[in-house]
Amino acid sequence: MARYTSARYNSPVSLSSQTARVKVLFFGRLKEIVGHAEDSVDLPDGAPIEALFSHYGVSHPELARFRASLVASRNQEFAAWSTPLHSGDEVAFLPPVSGG
């Protein structure tokens, strides 16, 4: 599994023009697990949302048990986990919604 750079913790290292920087948002119990609401990650351009989630699973293995109940979004729209990511994208992992 590829290890990506969390810009939040490391100075950004842009190895090539093929690197995409994406903004990542966490809500509800995911925010509590990860410990912050927002992150910025450098990953290979075109990497799928699934790979970004796996990236967080390395540092927070407990995320895996929520995977089946999560829906991903890209740029404020629900997105398939296979959606490729590009620089400037905003991704969120959304727990089951409970508004109302």
Partner 1 sequence: MTNSIQPDLLALVRDPIDRDALIRHVRAAEDGAVVTFDGCVRNHSRGRRTLYLDYEAYESMALGKIREIASQVHERFPVHLLAIAHRLGRLEIGETSVFIAVSSAHRPAAFDACRFAIDTLKGTVPIWKKEYFEDGAVWADGEIPPAPLETRAAKPAS
Pattern of binders to partner 1 over 41-80, x per CB under 8 A?
Answer: ----------------------------x-xxx--xxxxx
DSSP string covering 30-96: HHHHHS-SEEEEEEETT-BHHHHHHHHHHH-GGGGGGGGG-EEEETTEEE-TT-B--TT-EEEEEPP
Tally Cβ neighbours within 10 Å of residue 44: 15
For the CB of residue 10, give the shortest distance to partner 1 in the complex, in Å.
Answer: 26
- Residue 15 or 100: the one with the smaller Cβ distance to partner 1 is 100
| Interface with partner 1, residue 22, by CB under 8 A | no
Binding of partner 1 at residue 40 (CB under 8 A)?
A: no
Asked if residue 81 binds partner 1 (CB under 8 A), the reply is yes
Footprint on this chain of partner 1 (rule: CB under 8 A)? 25, 27-29, 69, 71-73, 76-82, 92, 94-100
